[in-house]
Structure 1
Amino acid sequence: MKTLNIKILSVFTLLCAWACTDPIETVISANPNAPALTSPSAGTSLILNQDISEETVIFAYNKADFGFPAAVNYTVQLVESGASFDNAMDIGNSNSNSVGISQANLNQRLIARGFVPDEATQVDIRVRAILGPTVDPLFSERVTMLVTPFREELTYARMYVPGDYQGWDPSNENTVIYSVQNNDIYEGFVHILGGSGAFKVNEEPNWDINYGGSNGVLERNGPDLRIAEPFGTFRITVDLNTLTYSIGTRRRWGIIGDATPLGWANDTPMNFDPVNNVLTITLDLIAGNFKFRAGDWAHNYGDTGSDGILDPDGANIPIPEAGNYTITMDWKVPGEISYEVIKN
């Protein structure tokens, strides 16, 4: 009897060992249930109010069901009604059954997207559920509603760009780049016309959180980012979501025209004002016209509306009479290049 018990125990142990080492497969449902937005409901009119701008707007939804318990990430997305969600505004994300955003934050992001203050705009909202990179995401049905932002000055999230070109001053509010969508992707222009070409990008106007790096990869407290000669104006893109950066094509801006010393044949290069972060030039001009150009006519600006805002291939800018002038070209405002012509 003892021998039989030992044999039975041995077989049972082997079966347990086999069962414990056999891989367990997670089976995803062939018909998973997508998330469903429950609040706000279809037809709701959301009127944002500056007086209660710190209050939170809640987007609630029923969770997705992939057929087994899992940690699912949910993102609430918004587009103008009928538009594709390929370029949707991500309101926020969560692992719970709701996403919250302050009225102030939502208002800023809507205005940055071009929504007109004090005007109701029809939008579509949906919820995206992501389980992992190997599983197709699930999407809720669109819910159509109205949203009305309030009027306020648009402020963008910003990063500071200290460097040799501006005296390594992280507190300079002019040498900054902006996240127009407030999505931690920052873009702007730097004018590096001399020095070592070294710079960094900082989250605040100090050195507490600064990024360097190399080969397109950012590193906190890393080595200086660097632009090699020849110098000029460069578009800088910084993505804090992926800790990457890119530096665009060099452009060396100047002025050209029959009002300038070199006529329409060649550019007269502009200089850099590191305090105000503008391109500038002071020189004698004659009556005539000029434009801004960067080496060839594929990159030129004029002013079609005579409004001080430059337009690609815009109209010639007149100089009514001969004299000594200071001309500036200002790239600081996102999506806009302005200029000024002052007779000294």
Structure 2
Amino acid sequence: MLFAFSACEKDETQATLTPSNSPTLRASTNSVVLTQANAAQTAITYTWTPISSFSWQNASSEYQPAVTYTIQLDRQGNNFASPANISAGNGPTTALTVEALNTSLNTLGLAPGTATPLEARLRASYAANAPLYSEVLPLTATAYRVCVAPRDASGAEIVWSIIGPAGVDWDTDVVLTYDCDTRTYGTTRALNAGEFKFRRNRDWGTNYGDDGADGALELNGANITVAAAGNYTIKLDLNATPKPTFTLTRR
């Protein structure tokens, strides 16, 4: 970094700011498979040797600029032409959650479910100087497609559940999981011999039963019967026509 100190109109001295070292990057792993179910877990931790100090040439100063670090990720062989940048603060370590890493990988256009070779490096920025970079580390990553369940007009997630003694009782909802690929709700779990119904947002305002015991659902329809206790897979298809449908399969 250069600073100009002028003693007179003809004399000018260039002051140079030099970092004591370049950062050295390390990673906790070189391969990650990301899943939405583990979104809150740590996917990878990067640590580095931070720039410890700066020295001045041709100037007397104790000024030490703040250093900010950024993890850069890019496809292998792209030479960081269009990297994903992840803020890493002032160091000397950062832990990336599965969700945060997946978000960054999606900006690179990675195909979900496919292992893709990447490269990672650390960028150290200080004052107005050109940044310093660490050595490049390899990373093989498998990203996932973000599954967003249907939402209402307010943006709140719509929850579907079963309720009744076949699950727990008439006061307790068993929430179903949304599947983005099939656009259905479902669960696999132990059920009791007894009855249940489907309802939306844990409220009886919108509930479905089966009047004809034929797998087609009707609003405010009859209770659905589980004849024998056991493990079952329940699937609710609200997009089926002409009526929503469900399946109940014993495992």
TM superposition score normalised by structure 1? 0.34
Q: Which has the larger strand fraction? A: 2
Normalising by structure 2, we get a TM-score of: 0.45
The structure, 1 or 2, with the larger RCO (C-alpha pairs under 8 Å, 6+ apart) is: 2
